[in-house]
Structure 1
Amino acid sequence: MTITTEEELEKLKAIGRICAIAREAMAAAMQPGMTTAELDAVGRKILEENGAESAPIVTYDFPGYTCISVNEEIAHGIPGPRVLREGDLVNIDVSAVKDGVYADTGASFVLGKGDARLETLCRDGKKAMWTGIRAVKAGAPLADIGQAIGKFAKKGGYTLIRNLASHGVGDSLHDEPGEIPTWPDRSERRRMANGLVFTIEPFLSLGGQMADQKSADDEWTLVSRPAAPCVQYEHTVVATPRGAVVVTLAA
């Protein structure tokens, strides 16, 4: 999606805010002993109350309203009977559509008191996302995003999952210009058009390099290869001459 009118921008901001409210409500509701299906129901309620539909369901017939990934799972985790425990690393990914416009957001959390390494990974995962967002500017190379995030990751001794990319969003869940690397990629030659809508979502890890299918009987859930803790933070943004407009904020 490329924003060309104020009406389009307002619709994008509206669905972005709904996604953000659902993300924050789910994070606040998390507690040891609840299942990921119960947590998903919190997100479902927010979407329905605001007249939005789950983008994964609409687009892919995904078996859940949101994606909830726990510990070894790094993306596209299916809500279900898994029980959350103190210290779990939980990723909440909310994408939705309203009035024909899509937005996408996500964040990772340590539930309660957990491993200090995971707390630090979450802190730096969020910083990696904002490092990428600060590189957004209409007319600038798309590669600037991956270069900035890669520099941050290298300085901190982290790795980046290199087959889970940012992507265009707006007219659909996965929209033009397709995948956008959140790691250094010399082959990336495109530039950010004014009004271009896309996500910034690096997957920062303590050693992971690639995402792989969790098991033969689960076509959705992804895990890190090699196995390592991984966090994802994601905002939907609009490229402007003054930088990024972030639309997936709850306030």
Structure 2
Amino acid sequence: MTITQEDELDGLKDIGRIVANTLRAMAKAMEPGMTTRELDEIGRAFLERHGAESAPQSAYDFPGATCISVNEEIAHGIPGERIIAQGDLVNIDVSASKDGFFADTGASYRVGPAHPLLDKLCRDGKRAMQIGIGQVAEGKPLAGIGNAIGKFADERGYTLIRNLASHGVGRSLHEYPEEIATWPNRSDRRRIDTGLVLTVEPFLSTGGLWASDGEDGWTLYAEPCAPVVQYEHTIVATSRGAIILTQPG
């Protein structure tokens, strides 16, 4: 989606704030001993209370309101009977729609005390996202996002999952530009137009290179097996940089 009117920006800010607040509420409620289904129900209720609809459910018939991935699961985890334990690494991905506008956000969390390397991975995962967002402005190359994130990852000895990309969003969950690499990509010659709505969501890892399918048809796992974190914002490009739409408030 490319924004051309102020009311479109207002609609995106509204749903962006809702998904951000949903993510925050889920993260605050998460504790050892609860199941991922119980955590998902908190997200579902929050979205419904604010007039929003789960995008994975409406667009893809996903069996949950949100995606919750634990430890070896790196994306699209199905909420269920898995019990969240002390020391777990949990990724929560919230995407939803309201009044025809879509927004998408996500973050990884440590449950209680965790290994110092996981703490560092989480800090650097968030920083990788911020570096990618810093490359978004009118006229800049889309490939600049992945090039900057890739440089950051290389300098710190990390890898990036190379088949889970950022994407356009706004009037649907996934739209043009369909795939935006969050790793170095020399073949992409596209440039960013003002008003373009997109996500920035690198998957930073200590060794994983690809996301492989699990047996349930949804859950993805790192290959080779290694810890992975993901942080995601929905943003809109302007001549002066990016506006982050998925801010709580």
TM-score w.r.t. structure 2 length? 0.99
Is the counterpart of residue 214 in structure 1 residue 220 in structure 2? Answer: no
Partner residue in 1 for 2:239: 241
Indicate the SS of the match to 1:108.
strand
Displaced runs of 4 or more, over 6 A: none
Aligned AA (2:42) = V
Aligned AA (1:246) = I
In the alignment, the residues of structure 1 paired with residue 45 and residue 118 of structure 2 have an alpha-carbon distance, to the nearest angstrom, of 29
- Which ranges of structure 1 fall in alignment gaps of 5 or more residues? none
Is the counterpart of residue 31 in structure 1 residue 12 in structure 2? Answer: no
Identity %: 65
Partner residue in 1 for 2:77: 77
Partner residue in 1 for 2:124: 124
CA displacement 1:41-68 (0-9 Å, x = unmatched): 1101110010000000000000000000
CA displacement 1:3-34 (0-9 Å, x = unmatched): 00000000000000000000000000000000
In the alignment, the residues of structure 1 paired with residue 85 and residue 179 of structure 2 have an alpha-carbon distance, to the nearest angstrom, of 34
Indicate the SS of the match to 1:103.
strand
Partner residue in 2 for 1:47: 47
Indicate the SS of the match to 2:103.
strand
Aligned AA (1:245) = I
Indicate the SS of the match to 2:219.
strand
Aligned AA (2:236) = V
Is the counterpart of residue 172 in structure 1 residue 172 in structure 2? Answer: yes
Partner residue in 2 for 1:56: 56
In the alignment, the residues of structure 2 paired with residue 137 and residue 167 of structure 1 have an alpha-carbon distance, to the nearest angstrom, of 16
- Which ranges of structure 2 fall in alignment gaps of 5 or more residues? none
Indicate the SS of the match to 1:18.
helix
Aligned AA (2:177) = P
Map 1:88-237; keep pairs closer than 5 Å: 88-215=88-215, 218-237=216-235
Would you say how many aligned residue pairs link Structure 1 and Structure 2? 249
In the alignment, the residues of structure 2 paired with residue 239 and residue 147 of structure 1 have an alpha-carbon distance, to the nearest angstrom, of 18
Q: How far is 1:140 from its partner?
A: 0.6
CA displacement 1:81-106 (0-9 Å, x = unmatched): 00000000000000000000000000
Aligned AA (2:85) = R
CA displacement 1:188-225 (0-9 Å, x = unmatched): 1100111000000000000000000122xx10000000
In the alignment, the residues of structure 2 paired with residue 129 and residue 156 of structure 1 have an alpha-carbon distance, to the nearest angstrom, of 15
In the alignment, the residues of structure 2 paired with residue 118 and residue 213 of structure 1 have an alpha-carbon distance, to the nearest angstrom, of 24
In the alignment, the residues of structure 1 paired with residue 174 and residue 202 of structure 2 have an alpha-carbon distance, to the nearest angstrom, of 16
Indicate the SS of the match to 1:63.
coil
Indicate the SS of the match to 2:109.
strand
In the alignment, the residues of structure 2 paired with residue 119 and residue 26 of structure 1 have an alpha-carbon distance, to the nearest angstrom, of 19
Please provide the CA RMSD for this pair. Answer: 0.5
Indicate the SS of the match to 2:78.
coil
In the alignment, the residues of structure 1 paired with residue 106 and residue 173 of structure 2 have an alpha-carbon distance, to the nearest angstrom, of 14
In the alignment, the residues of structure 1 paired with residue 11 and residue 116 of structure 2 have an alpha-carbon distance, to the nearest angstrom, of 40
In the alignment, the residues of structure 2 paired with residue 130 and residue 124 of structure 1 have an alpha-carbon distance, to the nearest angstrom, of 10
In the alignment, the residues of structure 2 paired with residue 78 and residue 118 of structure 1 have an alpha-carbon distance, to the nearest angstrom, of 23
Indicate the SS of the match to 1:185.
coil
Aligned AA (1:104) = D
